[in-house]
Amino acid sequence: MTQDSESARQWQQRSGVIVGVAVLVWRGDQVLLTHRKGSHGAGTWAPPGGHLDMGESFEECAIREVREETGVTITEPRFLAVTNDIFVDEGKHYATIWMGAQVEAGVATGEARINSPREMSELGWFDWDDLPLPRFLPFENYLAGRCYPPHPNETLGG
């Protein structure tokens, strides 16, 4: 085994922090949420999102994940916050980058659809003051203001 392949194997076996990107997608006064399945947090509601790919910007990841999962096209994603999310039972630790974006104006891409049935069972647009339960741990952390930078709860909406 070469030194490079040995280093790669050790890196893959190492438990560490995974970087996720979650996107609050707004269409008017409503936010897009998915009902997770087939992964940690199955059975909970969360915004679209996923893992940051090597070399990808947060903005690129936000656009890609929303389109891949829901078919929705977003514009100008912007940084909101970071949450530190520890899934004790699953033995996973995520740093979740929170982005906000609007549905692209003037394009018929605001109708969300389930593009990844292995990852979600349903999706929908919800009023910010009437979000469904139960919610995914990173989403709960964000909503509770357990994020960096901290924020007052009344400034969370779109």
Domains and CATH numbers, the chain: 14-152 (3.90.79.10)
Closest to 143 (Cα-Cα) out of 7, 6, 19, 24: 24
Q: What is the pLDDT of residues 9-37, one digit of tens each?
A: 443 444 699 999 999 999 989 999 999 99
* Global confidence as pTM: 0.85
Biggest distance spanned by C-alpha atoms of the chain: 56
Closest to 82 (Cα-Cα) out of 25, 136, 33, 146: 146
Burial of 19 (0-12, 13-18, 19+ CB in 10 A): middle
Helix (H, G, I), strand (E, B) or coil at 126: strand
Beta strands in 37-73 (DSSP E): 45-46, 49-51
Q: What is the pLDDT of residues 93-113, one digit of tens each?
A: 999 999 999 997 655 556 899
